[in-house]
């Protein structure tokens, strides 16, 4: 049992030690106040901006070492949030259609139908059309190019495509080149990726 002094109080030397007072943290501003909300947004945007760098693959190392280096290099990259839900420049179907039509007419001016030649020619045309469409500079659009060659033998044909479609930003273009022996059809689908 402890002995207490007069009046039931402990002497100051035996009093239990209280922890030192910690400084209070500054209160966060409320997001419902106009100025405070603007400050919160500025802080969040400042934290979300990072530099994005391109890392070239090391070509002189062994294949086993390349995987390790790429994993470590990619782990360090941080991408900035853009919060952009709409394109900087909307896809202009008319200008792309005239360019694709021009490419078809130039490439197929004096070409006769040959199924062996057209299998390679369709790939080359798709690559040329894709590079021409990319020159327009549509940011964040992904393009799907279909080039079809159809021999004229008196038949009818239906061509159909299905996509998940955003009617506000996605679009498509069709260009046709027709001769006596075949029909060339080029389809360009422009899909906006947020």
Domain ranges of the chain: 93-154+165-192
Provide the whole-model pTM: 0.57
Dihedral over alpha carbons 41, 47, 51, 52 (to 10 degrees): -80
pLDDT at 116: 86
pLDDT tens, the chain, 194 aa long: 555 555 556 555 565 566 666 667 666 666 566 677 777 767 766 655 454 454 455 455 555 555 555 556 556 666 677 777 888 889 999 999 999 999 999 999 888 888 888 889 999 999 999 999 999 999 889 999 999 999 988 888 888 888 888 888 999 999 999 999 999 999 999 999 87
Q: Tell me the DSSP string of 54-83.
A: --PPPSSS-HHHHHHHHHHHHHH-------
pLDDT at 144: 94
Domain at 93-154+165-192: CATH code: 3.30.1140.40
* 174 CB neighbour count, 10 Å cutoff: 15
Beta-bridge mates of residue 187: 146, 174
In which order are the strands placed within the sheet that holds 141-151? 141-151, 182-192, 171-178
Sign of the torsion angle spanned by Cα atoms 186, 191, 192, 194: negative
């Amino acid at each position: 049992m402890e002995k207490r002094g007069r009046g039931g109080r402990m002497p100051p030397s035996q009093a239990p030690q209280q922890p030192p007072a910690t400084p209070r943290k500054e209160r966060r501003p409320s997001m419902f106040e106009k100025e405070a909300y603007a400050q919160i947004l500025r802080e969040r945007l400042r934290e979300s901006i990072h530099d994005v760098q391109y890392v070239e693959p090391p070509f002189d190392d062994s294949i086993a070492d390349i995987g390790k280096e790429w994993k470590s290099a990619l782990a360090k990259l941080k991408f900035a949030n853009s919060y952009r839900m709409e394109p900087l420049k909307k896809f202009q179907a008319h200008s792309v259609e005239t360019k694709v039509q021009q490419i078809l007419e130039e490439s197929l001016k004096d070409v006769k139908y040959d199924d062996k030649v057209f299998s390679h020619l369709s790939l080359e045309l798709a690559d040329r059309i894709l590079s021409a469409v990319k020159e327009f500079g549509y940011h964040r659009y992904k393009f799907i190019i279909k080039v079809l060659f159809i021999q004229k033998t008196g038949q009818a044909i239906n061509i159909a495509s299905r996509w998940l479609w955003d009617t506000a930003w996605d679009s498509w273009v069709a260009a046709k080149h027709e001769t006596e022996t075949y029909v060339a059809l080029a389809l360009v689908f422009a899909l906006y990726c947020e």
